């Protein structure tokens, strides 16, 4: 086997170094798969649906071969047609080959693999046991492989994790809420996904680390060079006790486009997404939109209307049906799909509140009694608008409860 | 005609004094109707559905006669059966007669009418042109008549009014929002309904008065004695340029029960209800529940999660489908039934935000350019993951826009 002019043992060595199962034997076909998927993470931009469809149809190795060997579009179409995957239009395939070709540089794949081995990053494939299979909900827009620095436990916790995201320009209120929710989820054993940005994201990760919980950071660039650089130490700690994940190979710089695509991984890999604090045009609203589009429950933390930093959260609640969440319990309710289910009979509210849970007729009789002046039963009946009989019954009940006292001149309310 | 032993001319005099149309002629039958409905406002507690059904079936005058003349339940049932109104169970009728009888005191009706005339309160009947017919949505729980001190314009504005309510225990934030929304609605010609309580309600009325708008206060007791007493001057001003309304006759004290029933009038008489600020057990949540139960749009203003004074609003948004409203425009959207209709394609959000509305391929090319070092088209194509042709096209476009510059060594980004 030769790929990109590399000898089989070279490919196998590189592949073994980044294999998901550290120290495991990697046979030739496994190595080819690892190498091909690693190459694809550098050739196709995140979210490239033609790459996703081609890899699904032909497998990563044959898909790479079709590109390296410059198959005709006709041949690719024929080979794809035997798979069950929806066919890609020849025109789109041609455009895709055109945009992939400039990136078909064997040295960059090799460099990315070597750099990954150097920083102990591993390449997780869809077949691996730690693959977060929820991202497969993205279909052909899903990742072809994931580069990871971290512990298996963090990846394994993703199927029950919650994403907490928010704006870089956070207020003290927003950071307080990020801390509350991050720590609260950790304390309940729920792992927390975020994007490692300044502001809300950073506070989320920090609060989880402080609580000894599991946290996963998805990056928009390679996992070898942490971004933002001010979070280098933070990301280093996450890589030690949690996981730092990216679909881009080592050496890839983050770009605006990649931030937007990274957001879809945050949304898809977790059970629910909560926007903690976000202005009207915060990038975290994009994560929220991804969560909604892959059918994940979406929550937003409200804030003062007078704070522009909460305007995005309010917009999500108003226009995008995000659930208003105000506590850790409510985040967990959201994630377990129970939000809003516990609806009570509507007229209960307020009635309870105002009457301290007393039955309405007792409230009416108590209202009609005075602490100072005694009133006859007839007078109380008139004041309450109840019958004499009903009034007598309720007065007797209130007397038993010690709330009303009967004297010679009539009934009085017990002083409290 | 004699009622309660009063001569016809006495009844007509009293009726004319409180007639909705000041100074108008009141004939004998109109006077009997006014007198009977005035009596019913004192005999039945607000929301008494048996009274509502009986008055609907027999008319107010015959219904009163049935009570005064102590008709048998059988006779009442027979007389009612010819009307189209749903019959009341004989057992419920018997209970109702028992609770009404203690209040059948002619002197109290006469006193209430005299006191109303003294404070220039009028009695508005369902047939009157200023009757707020939206309250008829309450069905048999609706008011039999309304006592009013104020101007016709305020009553006539009710069909397009918005109710703004909230807790007595208001924070500076809540009062600020009450002021903003009250003044904002006034400035747009929308009249505002509230309950004249301390805290949010009071601030709502004040802000409308300050803006020269129309405001209507619904009270839980008679309109002769303003409650709370600390709002005596405020209510006096509302009675002069707006309207103070109650379904209870003059002399009636407010009770907890009546506050809860008063809330249904606030909710039903206006187009939409917005809770401005409310704690978890605020009585204003009861108004919200009434609004929902009569099918009026319900809004709530969010606040800091850390403020218990906003917990009720958040609960309404979470559990009772209240619309999150953050501005006057959004209140008006709510009232016009358009809230939430302007939903956008979901993935727009964030994508726009992060890319400053540039097309995605331009964002990608700009991201791949540097201000300092020139890059070849092939290099840019590789970095963006786009084809050579597409990259050339976008670079040309960016050059035209002055965003990219081509030099001898290649392309650079224009410094901003």
In sequence order, the 6+-apart residues with CB closer than 8 A to the CB of B273 are B162, B163, B165, B266, B267, B287, B288, B290, B291, B296, B297, B298, B299
Beta strands in A211-348 (DSSP E): 215-218, 243-246, 272-277, 298-300, 323-324
Tell me if A350 and B319 make a contact (CB, 8 A cut-off). Answer: no
What confidence score (pLDDT) does residue A337 get?
A: 81
Of A318, A330, A382, the CB nearest to B103: A382
Scan residues 163-222 of B and list those with Cβ closer than 8 Å to A. 173, 176-177
Residue A112, classed as helix, strand or coil, is helix
Contact map slice: A 59-118 vs B, CB within 8 A: 95, 98-103, 105
When comparing pLDDT for A408 and B202, which is higher? B202
Residues B96-155 have pLDDT tens digits of 999 999 898 878 888 999 999 999 999 999 999 999 999 999 999 999 999 999 999 999
Strands B298-300 and B272-277, bridge-based pairing: parallel
CA distances from B297 to A181, B292, B312, B405 (A): 32, 7, 17, 55
- pLDDT over 70 percentage in chain B: 94
φ, ψ dihedrals at A210, nearest 5°? -65, -30
Best residue in B67, B108, B350 to probe A by mutation, most A CBs within 10 Å? B350
Which residue among A48, A260, A363 places its CB closest to the CB of B350? Answer: A260
Question: CA geometry: angle at B321 spanning B318 and B325, to 5°?
Answer: 85
**Chain B residue with minimal CA distance to A315?**
B324
Residue B138: CA atoms inside 13 Å, Cβ hemisphere, count?
26
Q: Is the pLDDT of residue B350 over 50?
A: no
| Chain A CB within 8 Å of residue B409 CB | no
Nearest of B85, B110, B84 to residue B11 by alpha carbon: B110
Q: Specify the pLDDT at position A205.
A: 98
Please give the pLDDT value at position A68. 92
> Quick one: how far is CA A349 from the chain centroid?
32
Of the candidates B177, B306, B378, the beta carbon closest to that of A102 is on: B378
Per-residue pLDDT of A293-331, as tens digits, reads 999 999 999 999 999 999 999 999 999 999 999 999 999
A356: pLDDT confidence band, cut at 50, 70 and 90?
A: low
Q: How many residues are recorded in chain A?
A: 416
Q: What is the pLDDT of residue A364?
A: 85
- Does the beta carbon of A343 lie under 8 angstroms from any beta carbon of chain B? yes
pLDDT at B26 over 90: no
Farthest-apart Cα atoms in chain B, separation: 111
pLDDT band at A3; cut points 50, 70, 90: low
Percent of chain A with pLDDT over 90: 71
DSSP string for residues in A164-184: EEE-SS--HHHHHHHHHHHHH
Residue range B35-51, pLDDT digits in tens: 999 999 999 999 999 99
- How confident is the prediction for chain A on average, in pLDDT? 90
The pLDDT of A143-149, averaged and rounded, is 98
A-chain residues within 8 Å CB-CB of B388? 98, 101-102
Instruction: Give yes or no for residue A242 having a pLDDT over 90.
Output: yes
Compute the distance between CA of residue A312 and CA of residue A368 in angstroms, rounded to an integer: 50
A52-82: pLDDT as tens digits: 999 999 999 999 999 999 999 999 999 998 8
User: Do residues B221 and B195 make contact, with C-beta atoms less than 8 angstroms apart?
Assistant: no
HSE toward the beta carbon, residue B43, CA cutoff 13 A? 32
Interface of A with B in 238-297 (CB under 8 A): 255-257, 259-260, 263, 281-290, 292-293
For the cut 60, the answer to whether the pLDDT of residue A342 exceeds it is no
Residue of A nearest to B48 (CA): A385
* Mutation target vs A (from B315, B353, B394; most A CBs, 10 A cutoff): B353
pLDDT score, position A355: 44
Phi, psi of A299 (to 5 degrees): -125, 160
Q: Does residue B347 carry a pLDDT above 50?
A: no
The structure tokens listed for B305 are 């999660």
What are the tens digits of pLDDT across the range B45-94?
999 999 999 999 999 999 999 999 999 999 999 999 888 778 889 999 99
Q: B44 — alpha (psi -120 to 50), left (phi > 0) or beta? A: beta
Residue range A392-406, pLDDT digits in tens: 989 988 888 888 999
Element housing A234 (H / E): helix A232-241
B303 contacts A387? CB cut-off 8 A: no
- Cβ under 8 Å to B: A residues 132-171: none
Convert the pLDDT of each residue in A172-210 to its tens digit. 999 999 999 999 999 999 999 999 999 999 999 999 999
**Domains along chain B with CATH numbers:** 8-116 (no CATH), 151-335 (3.40.50.450), 348-413 (1.10.10.10)
Task: Say yes or no to pLDDT of B354 above 60.
Answer: no
Coil, strand or helix at B306: coil
User: Which residues, in sequence order, are CB contacts of A163 under 8 Å at separation 6+?
Assistant: A192, A193, A194, A266, A267, A269, A270, A272, A273, A274, A287, A291
Q: What is the full DSSP assignment across A23-48? A: T----HHHHHHHHHHHHHHHHSPTT-
What is the per-residue pLDDT across A80-122, written as a single tens digit (0 to 9) for each? 988 877 888 999 999 999 999 989 887 888 899 999 999 999 9
ipTM for the predicted complex = 0.83
Which pairing describes strands B272-277 and A323-324: parallel, antiparallel, or unpaired?
A: unpaired
Contact assessment for residue B308 and residue B266, using Cβ atoms and an 8 Å cutoff? no
State whether residue B342 is helix, strand or coil.
coil
* Chain-chain contact of B381 with A95 (C-beta, under 8 angstroms): no
Instruction: Give the pLDDT confidence score for residue A344 in this predicted structure.
Output: 42
A127 close contact with B: CB closer than 8 A: no
């Amino acid at each position: 086997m030769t790929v990109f002019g590399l000898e089989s043992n070279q490919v196998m060595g590189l592949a073994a170094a980044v294999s998901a199962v550290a120290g495991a034997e990697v046979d030739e076909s496994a190595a080819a798969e690892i190498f091909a998927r690693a190459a694809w993470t550098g050739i196709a931009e995140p979210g490239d649906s033609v790459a996703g469809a081609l890899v699904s149809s032909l497998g990563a190795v044959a898909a790479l071969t079709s590109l390296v060997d410059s198959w005709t579009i006709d041949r690719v179409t024929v080979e794809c047609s035997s798979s069950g995957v929806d066919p890609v239009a020849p025109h789109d395939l041609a455009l895709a080959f055109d945009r992939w070709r400039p990136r078909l540089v064997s040295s960059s794949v090799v460099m990315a693999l070597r750099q990954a081995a150097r920083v102990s990053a591993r390449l997780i494939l869809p077949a691996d046991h730690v693959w977060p299979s929820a991202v497969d909900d993205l279909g052909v827009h899903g990742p072809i492989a994931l580069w990871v620095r971290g512990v298996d436990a963090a990846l394994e916790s993703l199927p029950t994790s919650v994403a907490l995201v928010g704006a870089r320009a956070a207020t003290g209120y927003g950071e307080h809420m990020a801390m509350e929710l991050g720590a609260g989820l950790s304390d309940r054993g729920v792992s927390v996904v975020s994007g490692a940005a300044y502001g809300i994201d950073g506070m989320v990760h920090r609060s989880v680390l402080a609580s000894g919980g599991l946290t996963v950071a998805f990056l928009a660039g390679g996992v070898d060079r942490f971004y933002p650089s001010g979070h280098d130490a933070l990301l280093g700690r996450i890589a030690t006790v949690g996981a730092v994940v990216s679909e881009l190979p080592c050496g890839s710089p983050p770009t605006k486009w990649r931030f937007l695509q990274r957001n879809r991984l945050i949304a898809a890999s977790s059970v629910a997404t909560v926007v903690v604090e976000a202005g009207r045009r915060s990038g975290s609203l994009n994560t929220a939109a991804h969560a909604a589009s892959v059918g994940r429950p979406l929550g937003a933390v409200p804030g003062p209307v007078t704070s522009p930093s909460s305007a995005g959260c309010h917009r999500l609640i108003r226009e995008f049906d995000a659930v208003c969440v105000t506590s850790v319990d409510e985040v967990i309710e959201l994630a377990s799909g129970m939000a809003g289910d516990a609806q009570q009979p509507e007229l209960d509210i307020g009635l309870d509140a105002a009457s301290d849970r007393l039955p309405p007729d007792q409230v009416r009789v108590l209202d009609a009694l005075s602490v100072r002046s005694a009133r006859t039963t007839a007078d109380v009946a008139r004041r309450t608008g109840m019958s004499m009989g009903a009034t007598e019954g309720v007065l007797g009940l209130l007397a038993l409860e010690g709330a009303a006292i009967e004297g010679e001149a009539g009934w009085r309310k017990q002083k409290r």
